[in-house]
Amino acid sequence: MNPFRSRSVFAVFAIALLALVGLPVAGTAVAAPEAAPRVVTYDAGGAADFRDVVDEAARIWNSSVDNVRLEPADGSADVVVVADDGWPRARTDGLGRGKIWMGRQAVDQGHDPTRIAAHEFGHIFGLPDRRTGVCEELMSGHSAGTDCSSAHPNGEEAAEVDRNFAAGVAVPPELFVDSAPAADQQVRY
């Protein structure tokens, strides 16, 4: 066999073999491996009658973002969720760490509990309160009124959370708490 031809056959065979086993071949684009999402564990054991809505809020966030995933804790947790009779609130202890209080006062006034849980997880993910009154903005919180049951972050909120976790944003310890609107005060927009 001609030496040039045998080298050509060998080269074709070698390229085919490399492609078959998944090794990069010159001129072939290779996608960078995607970073695994950061897992943030939560313990809803103290959430009492809100446990199911906390789990639903976690599912909503998991379907909305790529860089973080909420999972129930098996042992110690990054986020502890408890129920009390006050107004809902969250305390951050850094990005993806903190405590959520599922306050019954807001639910008793007619606010959607799943929206409350998702909103409070938003704080844990580095989002501030934005009192816009717009129902489609999760972080508008109670300013959207009791008719609002949207528990999904909008595209901008989800993108901000993804950026926070991609960049490892430093979230200072902070307590996010609202005072309940007075009983005779209606929120109008």
Among all chains, which residue has been given the structure tokens 């996010």? 176
Residues in the chain: 189
Q: What CA–CA distance (Å, rounded) separates 166 from 97?
A: 16
Q: Is 136 a catalytic residue?
A: no
Q: What CA–CA distance (Å, rounded) separates 96 from 175?
A: 14
| Catalytic option among 71, 120, 137, 157 | 120
- Active site positions, annotated: 120
